[in-house]
Structure 1
Amino acid sequence: MRKYGFIFSFLVIPVVLYAIFVISPYAQAFYISLTNWRGISANPQFVGLENFTRLLSDDVFWAAVRHHALLLIAMPLITIAIALFFSFLLNLGGGSKGGRMSGVAGSKFYRVVYFFPQVLAVAVVGVLFQAIYRPDATGVLNGLLGIFHIGEVGWLINTNLALWSIMGVVIWQSVGFYVVLFSAGMSAIPSDVFEAAALDGAGRFRLFFSITLPLIWDTIQVGWVYLGIAAFDCFALVQVLSVDRGGPDNATTVLPLEIWRTAFTFSKFGYASAMGVALFFLTITFAALSLRVTRRERIEL
């Protein structure tokens, strides 16, 4: 009995705080989604599932969902592929030196370079890429294209390019974190495994796909879930970079931006909360499916 009392004394405060600051806001959001609350009245009218019914016929909501679907597929695949490539080069790309596997020359410097975008504030990154994506000749990218006599490109004003351009910024800023994450996973693999494979004549291609990738699969799985959750966000960069906050013509809008705009621009807090609840279940469903689909037998060393 004393054992349980001791455990309870340590758990009670964190559980209470979690209930107040996490569970309670979720519960309030679920309740508000069933009302027509406009953020002012103390007694909002209960409307049941009316807000969720409206979502089914809301073209902007479904446009945002489609954008999230694209982000969910492209962003994790590209980010993880680039991060794995860089991590392998930084940790194992130099081959065996002195009986130990090492990274390419200057790997310590490259670690800092790759991680640097991660320490920049999102707003700073957004303003930086506004200059890079400027649609005239003063933009960095269009200035480079002009050197090769290629016409100016409207990176953020072209409905077919805008979302991809913003996704490129997200990937650029995210890669550094996953390089560190995957590097930690690779560092945990005993060097004897790589040395034995190298002695057997395994090249870099074989070392990566037959040894490194299976042994850090759990880390990749975690990274995939993190990136999927990030794909359901992108609020700050879309707000800073997109034309008219989600434009042009809703080509870059995402659910967090629509939730913010519906609540604080149109004062429809009930409807915005319904969007938030939909986003919550989309995120939970993605995380559960990802962990299920990517599950594989753990390799013990």
Structure 2
Amino acid sequence: MQHGKVRFVVAFLALPVGLYALFVLSPYVQAIYISMTDWTGLTGDQTFLGLDNYVRLAGDGQFLIALRNNGILLVVVPALTVLLGLFFASMLNVGRRGRSGIEGVRGSKVYRVVYFFPMVLSVSIVGVLFKYVFAPTEAGGVFNGILRGIGLESLTAPWLGDPAFAFWIVVLVMVWSFVGFYVVLFSAAMQSIPKEIYEAALLDGATRFHTFRHVTMPLVWDTVQVGWVYMAIQAMDAFALVHIMLGIGGGPSRDGDVLGLALYRSAFNDYRFGYASAIGVVLLLLTLVVSAVFLRAARRERVELS
């Protein structure tokens, strides 16, 4: 009987597992092998180089700039996005005490739509939109036009053409475009918390900050943990936004470069697919390591409502 059960399970799993290995795992294995060759992507000729491409990466100054920027994205974008998402979600669900008990601020249903609206736009539209918002004044830049209109012309600048601002503007745009999703995600988690718990905490003299820290956060922590890891993975994939807003070079002096853009240039501009694959493998390992480290560091005892 047990033998027949094993055969039944194997028969049903063989096809999906085989397809997964073929279309998901196989490309990873191929990319790792290609990263150890000098393949140009134009011919079938390949010379095995071992770890030479990875050694070259360690001495490539532009790669190190891209790696630094990805590190900044991994820390800053998830932190700002999750904190803003928690704050707005808290205001929309338990922002005030009304006649019927603890409820969201007035107009919370409208705010949910407003916050989520950026998620409806594709990343290409967001990139083009903000490229014109921060364009120079003579090119019709909206932000510079506003500064001039309120008498702050001295503060105008070529924002995306200045190495001091270009990359950080991309960071702010990423946060703006992602935060709406996390407002909705955290709102769904907070709506499962009985309002009586908040009312009891307020009756006991707890401030809103202590209520958020000792009631809300422990009860939505699992959602925050998953959201943080997902946000970190999204932050690593900043290729499209950087490409649209700063160009294929990564902005002025290439100070806004990221790993995805460096990979694209190496593969399709320089035709060094082996070197580009090495960058891709580094990006993969970095994502896996960061996800594993955060999941382990953020592990805590589950809090459940009885």
Same fold (TM over 0.5): yes
- Matches of 2:124 and 2:304 in 1, distance apart? 43
Question: Post-superposition shift, 1:236?
Answer: 0.5
The answer on 1:210 being equivalent to 2:211 is: no
Q: Distance in 2 between matches of 1:296 and 1:139?
A: 47
- Tell me by how many angstroms 1:205 deviates: 2.0
Once residues 44 and 225 of structure 1 are traced to their aligned partners in structure 2, the CA distance between those partners, rounded to angstroms, is 37
The structural deviation recorded for 1:22 is 0.8
Matched AA of 1:41: T
* Deviation for aligned residue 1:240: 0.3
Aligned to 1:149: 152
Residue identity opposite 1:111 in structure 2: R
Aligned pair partner of 2:270 in 232, 246, 266: 266
Contact kept? 2:134, 2:142, Cα under 8 Å: yes
Q: Output one character per residue of 1:59-118: Cα deviation in whole Å (capped at 9) or x when no partner.
A: 01000011011111211111111111100011110325424x311111111111100100
Q: How far does residue 55 in structure 1 lie from its aligned partner after superposition?
A: 0.4
Q: Please say if residues 248 and 261 of structure 2, whose CA atoms lie closer than 8 Å, have aligned partners that are also in contact.
A: no
Aligned residue for 1:60, secondary structure, equals helix
Which of 3, 10, 14 is equivalent to 2:16? 14
Please name the residue that 1:246 is paired with.
Answer: 250
TM-score normalized by the length of structure 2: 0.94
The equivalent residue for 1:26 is 28
TM-score by length of 1: 0.95
* 1:79-158 correspondence to structure 2 within 5 Å: 79-99=81-101, 101-136=102-137, 138-146=140-148, 147-151=150-154, 152-158=156-162
SS at match of 2:159: coil
The reply to whether residue 286 of structure 1 matches residue 290 of structure 2 is yes
Contact 2:136–2:159 under 8 Å retained in 1: yes
Does the CA-based 8 Å contact 1:159-1:248 persist in structure 2? Answer: yes
Choose from 68, 71, 79 the match for 1:69: 71
One of 161, 165, 172 as aligned partner of 1:168: 172
Matching residue's letter, 1:51: N
Aligned partners of 2:21 and 2:70: how far apart in 1? Answer: 29
Structure 2 gap ranges (5+): none
The answer to whether the Cα contact below 8 Å between 2:248 and 2:265 also exists between their aligned partners in 1 is: no
CA distance in structure 2 between the partners assigned to 1:5 and 1:105 by the alignment: 59
Q: Tell me, what secondary structure is at the counterpart of 1:216?
A: helix
d(CA) in 1 for partners of 2:99 and 2:236?
Answer: 43
CA distance in 1, matches of 2:125, 2:11: 44
CA distance in 1, matches of 2:23, 2:221: 34
Alpha-carbon contact 1:91-1:102 (below 8 Å) kept: yes
Aligned residue for 2:160, secondary structure, equals coil
Q: Determine the C-alpha separation between the residues in 1 that align with 2:198 and 2:13.
A: 43
Deviations 1:44-65 (A, max 9, x none): 1111111111001000100001
Residue number among 51, 54, 63 corresponding to 1:52 in the alignment: 54
Percent identity reads 49
**In 2: Cα distance, 1:170 partner to 1:150 partner:** 26
Between the aligned partners of 2:84 and 2:97, the Cα distance in structure 1 is 20
Higher helix share: 2
User: Quick check: 1:259–1:272 contact (8 Å CA) kept in 2?
Assistant: yes
Provide the secondary structure at the position in 1 that maps to 2:157. Answer: coil
Moved more, 89-98 or 22-31: 89-98
Alignment check: 8 A CA contact 2:136 2:144 kept: yes
- SS at structure 2 position matched to 1:76: helix
Contact persistence 1:238–1:245 (CA under 8 A)? no
Deviation of 1:243 after TM superposition, in Å, equals: 4.4
AA in 2 matched with 1:91:
N
Aligned counterparts of 1:107 and 1:4: Cα–Cα separation in 2: 53
Query: Can you list the C-alpha shifts for 1:213-257, whole angstroms capped at 9, x where unaligned?
Result: 121111111111112112211100000000453021111110011
Q: How many residues align?
A: 300
Identify the match of residue 190 of structure 1 among 194, 203, 222. Answer: 194
RMSD: 1.5
What secondary structure is seen at the aligned counterpart in 2 of 1:109?
A: helix
Q: Closer, same or farther in 2 for the Cα pair 1:89/1:273, shift >3 Å? A: same
Structure 1, unmatched stretches of 5+, are: none
Match of 1:300 in 2: 304
- Any conservation in 2 of the 1:157–1:243 contact (CA below 8 Å)? no
